[in-house]
Amino acid sequence: MLEVRGLRKVYTSRDRTVEALRDITFSVAAGELVCLVGPSGCGKTTLLKCLAGLLGPTGGEVSVEGRPVSGPPPGMAVVFQVYGRSLFPWMTVAQNVELPLRHKGRGRAERRRLVTAALADVGLSHTPDAYPWQLSGGMQQRVAIARALAYEPHVMLMDEPFAAVDAQTRADLEDLIRTLWDRTGVTTLFVTHDIDEAVYLGERVVVLSSSPTVVQDDLPVDLPRERDQLDTRALPRFTELRSRVYGEIRSAQRAASRADGA
């Protein structure tokens, strides 16, 4: 479904070059929910932009549904980290969700059906006529998720979508993502810097190293499919997985600082 082979990204400016991504290879099968976790500053957003076709890689290849990515793939929806800036402030909630559908050429009746269903899915049926800036951060991110859902994507990319909301809202939104994925089965790649979040949400966790970034580990999450904020997080297996990912990231950081010192 989503294939990344030997992806490399080097930023070149006049006086220096920065190797953000060195060699990234992983894949996501159709219907999977994969979390991509890495330390802050490891180039997660760069990687996501390359996957979304918003940024051209320096080397390697990304393909979605068998086609190499050279621009934004048609079957993909992206939920950005900064929800406050990815919603159109001059449009109501419903208009925001509807906009991509207009450009996709959907008829009026179908647009209305999709918008209503998507808003119901994220629990925002009561605020279609509000403007984004009248809503809390968590609700704004729900609107962005509804917009992605209504688009009926084959792949959904999420770039640290809950980094800026409070803990309770974050837990609610995590459960929302699990529920939606369970029901729609849409292939989802969820990028986060939060190890607990990655293990709790994912069916698989891809661990990234520090910059210049490589894939450090790729481990399946063998937790019960039904996740619960209290019970799942209390499982011994959750703690084991969490510790393993944490260890990986720490050793990657150590290796990076040794390489810097040498």
| Interacting residues toward other proteins by CB under 8 A | 49, 52-54, 71-72, 74, 76-78, 80, 82, 85-86, 88-91, 99-100, 102-104, 131, 133-134, 151
Pair of tokens at residue 227 = 């996740």
Closest CA to 207 of 118, 199, 256: 199
Closest CA to 159 of 76, 229, 223: 76
- Whole-number Å distance between alpha carbons of 10 and 22: 8
Which element (helix H / strand E) includes 100? helix 93-103
Contact indicator for 73, 22 with CB cutoff of 8 Å: no
Cα–Cα nearest to 215, from 1, 62, 44: 44
Q: Is the CB of 189 or the CB of 245 nearer to other proteins?
A: 189
Looking at the Cβ atoms of 21 and 135, the one nearer to other proteins is 135
Cβ nearer to other proteins, comparing 102 with 113? 102
